[in-house]
Amino acid sequence: MPSILNTTDINFTKDFESLLLTKREADQDVDDIVAKILNDVKNHGDTAVIELTAKYDRLDLTPETLAFSESEIDQAIEGVATKEREALELAAKRIRNYHERQLPEDAWWVGEHGEGLGWRWGPVEAAGLYVPGGTASYPSSVLMNAIPASVAGVDKMCICAPTPGGNCNPLVLLAARLSGVKNIYRIGGAQAIGAMAYGTETIDKVDTITGPGNAFVAAAKRRVYGNVGIDMIAGPSEILIIADRNNNPDWIAIDLLSQAEHDKNAQSILITDNAKFAKDVVGCIDNRLKSLDRREIAKPSWENYGAVIITKDLDEAASLSDKLAPEHLEVCVENAEEYSKKIRHAGAIFIGSLTPEAIGDYIGGPNHVLPTARSARFSSGLSVLDFMKRTTLSKMTPASLSAIGPAAALLADSESLEAHGLSIRERLNQINSKAKDS
């Protein structure tokens, strides 16, 4: 059974703290395995990647077949139904339009002493995009990773998408084509992360790696960080819904199950100020679980990690939400837009009862790669900025160096960095000497 908490209960604080500390990552300690895989890829390149793919994905490859050929991509996407193609094209258009608004602006100004100051933004040169496969493959994840990279202006993009047993979702290839990605490798797991981080004879090294994956992928991204950039270490998915009694309980139930069906370790939480509504939602979930296609995944997720919290009022609900800092937050209350301004910590907020989280997974526009495990307290979802870097700019003139240089030299002396001070004073001496001569 899911946890049922009430803020008026004497043990609520203790029970809520236990909910916050619940560990939902896979129990298996994969780090040692991942370390060996990464070391093999680093030292043996294509050979290691091919052997590991045969072992874990039951797929025999050669250096020539690591990537899909253009003809293979063409043939696969020819079979995509028109309605699916149009839906994917609409999603790509909306995601691109949203992310184009994220492009930062360069800046340059002249300070009070005539010095030039500013910054400029530029893309990384190469990005590696991981797309999950196995029990489910996600063309939406291709769009969510590749389009921001494309908008940022990344020159080289590649995708690694596992194809266990050689099975490939044509929509994944179509999404890559729509996003402008030409190199699509049929490999996955830690070996794919290693290949993109270190490079092999066939796969070029990238500058940053983004995209969600299983525990092996997450552990690999953690290990290669520093050698390359990464977006985040994503854990199991989660959703929090704040809802009042003026909602359809079945809608809320389905929304909670929409995350539970992702993963047995996913978490779905309802916060409401109405005990009867909470009971109705739980009843609807029980009923839906009788027929849901992925009930073997959704049921243990709901029973092991699901929670219902009954609060005194909706202000208390907002406070608890910020402590949970959920990946996805649905706000289904009266005056939802105004209420959402009370929320400080959430990866993505879906405002109003007509905005289910699932719309954001596919076609809303904002990115669905979001911080999990309460990391929304200090991080954001994937964006164009994850594929860009800022370079600061400064330019001194004789007048500006004369004005601020002495203070800089003094600070250098206070830190016992003689050469720092000298590099400034020698220039000031020359400026002063020229001023005397004139």
Which residues are known to be catalytic? 327-328
- Residues 141 and 362: their CA atoms lie apart, in Å, by 9
DSSP3 helix / strand / coil % (the chain, rounded to 5): 50, 15, 35
* 3 state SS for 221-270: HHHHECCEEECCCCCCCEEEEEECCCCCHHHHHHHHHHHHCCCCCCEEEE
Residue 112's Cβ-count burial label (10 Å; 0-12, 13-18, 19+) is exposed
The whole-angstrom separation of Cα 166 and Cα 59 is 6
Residue ranges of the alpha helices (H) in 153-211?
170-179, 189-198
Q: What are the residues whose beta carbons fall under 8 Å from the beta carbon of 376, sequence distance 6 or more?
A: 325, 326, 327, 345, 346, 347, 370
Q: Scan for tokens 């009843």, then name that residue.
A: 283
Query: 3-class SS at 363?
Result: coil
Tell me the two tokens of residue 118: 């500013």
Question: Order of strands, edge to edge, in the sheet holding 107-110?
Answer: 107-110, 116-123, 388-395
User: Do residues 320 and 309 touch, judged by C-beta distance below 8 A?
Assistant: yes
